Amino acid sequence: MAATLANGGMNPHTGMRLVSPDAVRCALPIMMTAGMYDYSGEWTFNVGVPAKSGVGGCVFMSIPNLCGISVWSPRLDAIGNSARGV
């Protein structure tokens, strides 16, 4: 999904559109400002790419027009982000 968002909503493997460009344009700023819970501001300042963390230990990032990156490590830090993923 990270790669699909980075590719403007088009799955890079199948070429199928899964998400509209308007939805991607709305999702990426939300990921940038709130996707890493209370760490979002620091993440934006230090890393600078839209990302979403989940309580399952996944952090995925989308770098528009370049790539999607996903990291999984289930141990969480005090904020609720993957301790190693961050």
Q: What are the strands, taking DSSP E only, across the chain?
A: 51-53, 58-63, 67-72
- The contacts of residue 3 (CB under 8 Å, 6+ apart) are 11, 12, 62, 67, 68
Query: Quick one: which of 53, 72, 71, 50 has its CA closest to 61?
Result: 50
Give residue 26's pLDDT: 97
Give residue 38's pLDDT: 94
Give residue 60's pLDDT: 94
Give residue 4's pLDDT: 97
Domains of the chain: 2-72 (3.40.710.10)
Residues 26-68 pLDDT 10s: 999 999 999 999 999 999 999 999 999 998 999 999 999 999 9
Give residue 1's pLDDT: 93
The token duo for 10 is: 């088009």
